[in-house]
């Protein structure tokens, strides 16, 4: 999720627990073999065994439409040690689709097969190659055909966002169409889209027939969502994440943002996350209103200290 779920938020959310693995935001591949520093900028976990600081594996996602170029970049990327290569066939952004990438590829199943096949041949046999698709571009008429094309290319796993490109992010998600795809292929299928709560997760599983789920904006809104699903499955007895438990993580997020992102991005990134959190936590609404007009890191850090999100000596965070 470009501009939202980057390495900083991956670090924080995986500290909460319940996540099996992460997928990076997409790395755009056009006409050249990218240097390693580009991969490291987007997926810095590659310098640490391909895992977040809490030990959760990260797959690196590529986006493009040229099978040869994607394969060459996948080979270089694979040598850097991700825990898999993921292919983006779902991005709905107009600028991406205009250049034949993301969801636009769902109008050409044969090209999907060639892309997956080229990447599969380019990376070690033990390394998973997965893909994420939407139900289609303008409609879902070819959804199963596209999934079968991805399987034919050699993908090990398929995530399906249960909307078309035309649907964008508007509710509802058509989870029952994911079930049609699941029944049409033999590789594991993971359902995604409009999963905000435990109840959504349970309804998605029932409609899609999928046991595994990919969480995106729902996990950003409720960092304890994956744990809640695991708790319902009987795999953990860890209670829900309270606002008091979340505050230190918001503080840790702010420290990372100040340390790793440009000054002009810092306050905006914090407010972006709070904007999601206020859907789940009433206290996040209070925090958002308190910080929404601030742009200088110093008063933001002062507020963090006052709220107990950071220790008093953390005022030095602004000099990191």
- Burial of 284-295, coded b for 16+ CB within 10 Å and e otherwise, reads beebbeebeeee
- Residue 288 and residue 54: Cα distance in Å, rounded? 27
Signed CA dihedral, 262, 98, 109, 136: sign only? positive
- Residue 140 and residue 162: Cα distance in Å, rounded? 10
CA-nearest of 308, 304, 307 to 316 is 304
In 3-state terms, what secondary structure has residue 95? helix
Q: Of the residues 22, 69, 91, 146, which is catalytic?
A: 91
Residue with tokens 């790793």: 260
Q: Confirm if 213 and 204 have CB atoms less than 8 A apart.
A: yes
- Known catalytic membership, residue 210: no
- Residue 247 and residue 308: Cα distance in Å, rounded? 7
In 3-state terms, what secondary structure has residue 74? helix
Q: Name the token pair of 220.
A: 């950003």
CA-nearest of 61, 50, 55 to 5 is 61
Q: Confirm if 90 and 133 have CB atoms less than 8 A apart.
A: yes
Q: Name the token pair of 226.
A: 């994956």
- Cα-Cα-Cα-Cα torsion 19, 194, 24, 229, nearest 10 degrees, comes to 0
Catalytic residue ranges = 91
């Amino acid at each position: 999720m470009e501009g939202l779920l980057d390495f900083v938020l991956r670090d924080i959310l995986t500290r909460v627990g319940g996540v099996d693995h992460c997928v990076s935001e997409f790395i755009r591949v056009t006409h050249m073999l990218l240097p390693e520093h580009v991969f490291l900028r987007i997926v810095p976990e590659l310098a640490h065994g391909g895992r977040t600081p809490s030990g959760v594996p990260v797959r690196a996602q590529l986006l493009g439409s040229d099978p040869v170029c994607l394969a060459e970049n996948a080979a270089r990327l694979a040598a850097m040690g991700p825990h898999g290569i993921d292919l983006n066939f779902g991005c709905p952004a107009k600028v991406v689709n205009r250049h034949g990438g993301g969801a636009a590829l769902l109008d050409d199943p044969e090209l999907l097969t060639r892309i997956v096949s080229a990447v599969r041949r380019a990376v070690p046999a033990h390394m998973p190659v997965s893909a994420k698709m939407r139900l289609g571009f303008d409609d879902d008429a070819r959804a199963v055909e596209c999934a079968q094309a991805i399987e034919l290319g050699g993908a090990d796993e398929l995530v399906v966002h249960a909307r078309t490109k035309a649907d964008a992010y508007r509710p509802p998600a058509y989870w029952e169409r994911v079930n049609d795809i699941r029944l049409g292929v033999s590789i594991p299928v993971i359902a995604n889209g409009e999963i905000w709560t435990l109840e959504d997760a349970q309804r998605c599983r029932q409609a899609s027939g999928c046991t595994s789920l990919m969480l995106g904006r729902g996990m950003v809104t409720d960092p304890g969502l994956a744990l809640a699903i695991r708790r319902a499955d009987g795999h953990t007895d860890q209670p829900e994440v309270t606002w008091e438990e979340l505050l230190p993580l918001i503080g840790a997020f702010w420290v990372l943002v100040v340390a790793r992102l440009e000054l002009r991005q810092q306050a905006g990134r914090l407010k972006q996350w709070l904007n999601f959190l206020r859907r789940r936590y009433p206290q996040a609404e209070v925090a958002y209103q308190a910080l929404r007009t601030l742009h200088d890191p110093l008063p933001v850090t002062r507020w963090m200290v006052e709220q107990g999100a950071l220790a008093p000596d953390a005022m030095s965070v602004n000099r990191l």
